[in-house]
Structures are given as C-alpha cells and as structure tokens.
Structure 1
C-alpha cells in the first residue's frame, strides 16, 4: 500500500525504509505522433485512449481520433495538429500523459508516492492521482476549448530561453515589452515567457542580441498569463460543479505546494491559465521533503532533463522518452528502482 496522501500542509508520510519517488506529468510538449504505438495493446493504455475518443464526439468528421494520433507514427506533428485541430492537440497531449503515467503507475505503484503536474499537465496529474476521471478530464478540456475560442484574445504565444529569469525580467523592462510575463521558471538556465505576439517577437530579438537561445513553443495562446483572466474565471466557476475525489496519491503543484482539499485540487486544475510556474523552486522543496527519484511520464524526457539540471545527484528516469514496449520500460525503471521494490508490475 502506498503512503497516505498529503494533508493540506505537507507531503505524504515518509516510508521508513526508502526515499520517496514522484511521478511527473508534463503539459505542452507531451504530444508526439505515435508515442504509444508499442503500448496500444496494454489494457491501461487502450482504456484511456478509448475513453478519450468516446467522450470527444464534437471534433468534426475529419478529425483524427486521439487513439490514432498516439499509436500511428505518421500522424500529424504537433504544429500541424495544433493548426488544424486545437482541441485534438489538447486531448492528445492529455491522453498521452494520462495513458503513459497510468502505465508507469501500474508497473511501479509500490514505490511512487506523489504526482507532479507541469502546466496543463496538472490536469493529467489529477487524473492519474484519482481526483478526477478521464471522462471529466475530457469534458474539462472541451469546455476550456470553447472558452478559448469565444474569448476575444489577441494573437499570443510562448517562448523558452536559456536566459535566467532575472535577466529576462531586465529585458522585459528595458525593451518596453511589459505585456510579456515570465510564465515559468523551469531551471536556472530555462525561463518560459508568454505574451502578445508583437511584444514577444521584440523581446525574442533582444534575447538573441544578448546572446541567448530562444525557441518558440507549440502553444495555442499565452498560457500562465493575465490575458486569460476571464477564461480562468469562467473555468473556475465550472470547476466548482465538478465532483473531486480524494486522491490516492499526493498531488504537488508547480506553484510550490501540496494540493489535497477539493478547493486546492480545483485551483490546481485551472492554474495553467494565468498562474506562473516555479518548477525549479518546487523541485528544491520536494528534494528537501525527501523526494530523490523522479519519473518522467512524457516523451523526449523534457521534465527529467530539468530535474537533472536543477537537482544534481537525484535519480531520474524517462521510460517513455522513445516509443518502446513494456519490457524496455521495465528495464529503464530498474535503473532507478529502490532495492526493495516488490514485484514486476501489473503486466
């Protein structure tokens, strides 16, 4: 049995004989065409994909089912899918993380103590922890899609840079790009910025002139930004009507705190719209609380790379960093498994 979930003010009770492990759920960047193609027959994965497609009937007759997006290598890439079908992109991102994290949880449940979401990955983390169902997650993303489509938002987006947050803040002030905000402090040398396209492009040029790398992120708008304030308020009102279960795993947020009560969990589900993230400080707090092993449920190992940069000496694994089958996942988990790990998982 896993340790009891966290209370409102602290982490789960420490298992006496081992350090603690957190399962990380990425957000944008987690969609990779065909990422689950070697796992399509795994019951936990198949169930998630089938549920997502069953409860998203309004994407139009030409929309590619999420199950196909994640199990066929020639499915549309992230930018193409986002342009053609923004809701499909959101659903595929969510389904990829929930399916992968559920699969990892089935294999490693005895030694996973908490889940950590990153950006919209908070909704996947809540699902994996058992606070909301997959059906609820799909319904919430459909509502969010409607709110984003009907909001009068300017063209806006997000970029990642290797500039530190302090240097980025200096350039925001000196470039007159005050509508650009720091969306995420991911690591000492990775900051995410969000804002209207015009000011974001001006700041991007200033960062490049300053010798920094800058990457435009595949994002439908400027998440973690006050631009989405009205969307956030509407989404929060709708969340109040959603039943929230007591999570089976402790839930930590990139806002830097444990979420346990229904109100805290609802706040976590909506935070990606307007609240900035402080992943680096969150990881430091988790390390201080005894979390020394970090499992990344996404492809490309995006979050585990940030852990390696910010928490040297901690164990990390990204078992689905490339599309692989169950046995290869087990091998990758073995590298970080506690010595006393019981069993071989559910498959």
Structure 2
C-alpha cells in the first residue's frame, strides 16, 4: 500500500500549497510568466491535449491566461464553460508548479479546494496534465448530457449552523451547505431560484450573500448521477504515488491510497467541504505556512480567518514575473 512521501520530523515547520477551484480564473493572470518553462509547458500541454479531444468551444487557455483582454469569468462560464474549466485548472496547475520550483525551503503538502483537487493531484504527480484535461472534457460531457436545472453556488458570511437554520425556516428543500470554509463563510449550493430566495432573506437580515461564478451546483446531490459515472471512468485512470502529501477540503486526513486519490478527483461533484476542519488537521500535523496558488488570494484569506496566527501568503495574487514571485515567497517562508 502506498503511504505517500514522508513528512518532516515533528517540530519542523511545514508548508502547504493550496490549490483553489472556483474563482481561480483571471484573464491574463499569467501574462508575465508565459515564457517561463514550467508555466509555458503546462499551458501547451493543456491546449494540445484539449485540441486532440475536440477543443473546448472557446479560446485556448494559453490565450485566456496571458491576455488581460480575454473574456472575464462571468462571460466565459456562460459562453464556453469547458474553456472556463480548463483555464481554471491550467491557471492553478501552472502557478502551483512554478511556486513549488521556487519555494525555499520546500513545500511539504498540497491542499485542493473543490475542483482545485484536480490541480493538487497534478502538481503532486498523481495524474498528468493530459489526464486532468481528459477528466474535464469527460465531466463537461456528463454535465451537458445530464440536462440539469439552472443551479449554482452562493457565498454568505453566515456560520454553517445559521445558514442551515435559514434554509429550514424558509422551506428551501433543495438547498445544501456546500462548504464550511471559515467561521463566517459558508457556501450554499442548489437551484438558482432557491439561491435567489435565500440570498434575499440573508440580505434582509444584514448578511452578505454573493453568487459565485460557477456552471452548476457543485458539492450537491443534483450531481449524483454525474458523480457515479465520473467515478466509474476514474477506475480506469492510472494514478501514481504522490510526491507530496495530498489533502482535500472534503476530508481532514491526508489522501494516500490509489482508491482515495481517485475519490478525491471526483469529490467536488457531490461531497460537501469542511475546509476549516482540514485546516485544523493541518495545524495539528505541524503545518505553519499556507501558500495560495490562486490569483485572488481566496484560500489564504480563509486560512487566515480559520487559523489565527498562522503564516499565509498569496504570491500569485496579482500578475507578476518570476523575480517578484521569488521575493514574495521569500518573505512568506523566512
């Protein structure tokens, strides 16, 4: 049985690289890094393999991630949802791969958040970029064939218990708590009409309620059949032993076995996340520094809220060249 790579001895400061999902696409985010070999290679591999599979119906990720004038997230998810998914995956995979190369001292683990699990599995060497692209093409076909109702995600500043109480009292039977991200950030998933209703009530009560850019209601039973078929296809996917410890926001233990790694690749479809619980487990395992590989510093903000006193950084939070990234990393890891 594969138990994954060893972690540093007890008492040694440990660093985890976090891989976001929704919200990780930003037009032109990698424009200063387009010629850096690790980034250029990821973008080329994603676009080449996507073209072999029939393209994405939208601009190539190499253009989306290096041109600031490329379509924004809201427009892209509506007009070319597969291109949006591929760009999200490529952005995180390319950025995380480069940060792993630059980090000194090194990173000891990766943590995926939602569909960011696919990027985390890629940078840990479990799957290849070509496998990631193939899985996203498969998921796109399954989502289109499922003819799902209009549905999505809504971020609130409520606790999970308060959000669950609101769902019950409003009689919104199809809404679910999709993510317990932080003490005061809970994400809800479900049909658009019910999300709109709960959003109105939440705002009337003085809470924030923000729709997230998403093509459907991930982490929700609406996707049960998609999840079942996706898992069936995953059984045939080869997985390699991880080169870094792999964590996911759907469980608080490191994922080590081939079966567990395949489960992690599909978890974002139906499994609710308890990101705060995973962060607590990482702190208990001695992790002291949390690096965000996304362009918007979303996960570093959540880590800061959930783990007061920890070191957080988002080196890729704004487009930057290699020298600037190296300086940002050095400041976080000193």
Cα deviation per residue 1:175-202 (whole Å; 9 max; x = unaligned)?
Answer: 0002100000000000000001111111
For 1:115 and 1:132, how far apart are their aligned partners in 2?
A: 14
Aligned ranges 1:325-344 → 2 under 5 Å: 325-338=321-334
Q: Secondary structure at the match of 2:23?
A: coil
**8 Å Cα contact 2:7-2:108 kept in structure 1:** no
Which residue of structure 2 aligns with residue 41 of structure 1? Answer: 35
Which residue of structure 2 aligns with residue 290 of structure 1? Answer: 286
Cα deviation per residue 1:209-265 (whole Å; 9 max; x = unaligned)?
Answer: 111001000000000000000000000000000000001001011122211111000
Which residue of structure 2 aligns with residue 50 of structure 1? Answer: 44
Which residue of structure 2 aligns with residue 146 of structure 1? Answer: 141
For 1:13 and 1:63, how far apart are their aligned partners in 2?
A: 41
For 2:333 and 2:105, how far apart are their aligned partners in 1?
A: 10
Which residue of structure 2 aligns with residue 345 of structure 1? Answer: none
Gaps of 5+ in 1: 1-5, 339-347
For 2:242 and 2:327, how far apart are their aligned partners in 1?
A: 28
**Number of matched residues?**
331
Q: CA deviation at 1:152?
A: 2.6
Q: CA deviation at 1:293?
A: 0.3
Q: CA deviation at 1:109?
A: 6.3
**8 Å Cα contact 2:17-2:111 kept in structure 1:** yes
Extract structure 1 runs of 4+ deviating beyond 4 A.
Answer: none
**8 Å Cα contact 2:105-2:333 kept in structure 1:** no
Aligned with 1:202 (options 176, 197, 206)? 197
Aligned with 2:18 (options 17, 21, 24)? 24
Aligned with 2:93 (options 91, 95, 98)? 98
For 2:332 and 2:303, how far apart are their aligned partners in 1?
A: 14
Aligned ranges 1:45-194 → 2 under 5 Å: 45-57=39-51, 58-59=54-55, 63-108=58-103, 110-194=105-189
For 1:259 and 1:144, how far apart are their aligned partners in 2?
A: 22
For 1:15 and 1:324, how far apart are their aligned partners in 2?
A: 34
Which residue of structure 2 aligns with residue 13 of structure 1? Answer: 7
Q: Secondary structure at the match of 1:257?
A: strand
**8 Å Cα contact 2:89-2:119 kept in structure 1:** yes
Aligned with 2:206 (options 187, 197, 211)? 211
Cα deviation per residue 1:6-42 (whole Å; 9 max; x = unaligned)?
Answer: 938xx94324673100000000100000000000010
For 1:257 and 1:78, how far apart are their aligned partners in 2?
A: 32
**8 Å Cα contact 2:150-2:191 kept in structure 1:** yes
**8 Å Cα contact 2:17-2:107 kept in structure 1:** yes
Which residue of structure 2 aligns with residue 310 of structure 1? Answer: 306
Aligned with 2:221 (options 210, 217, 226)? 226
For 2:33 and 2:7, how far apart are their aligned partners in 1?
A: 33
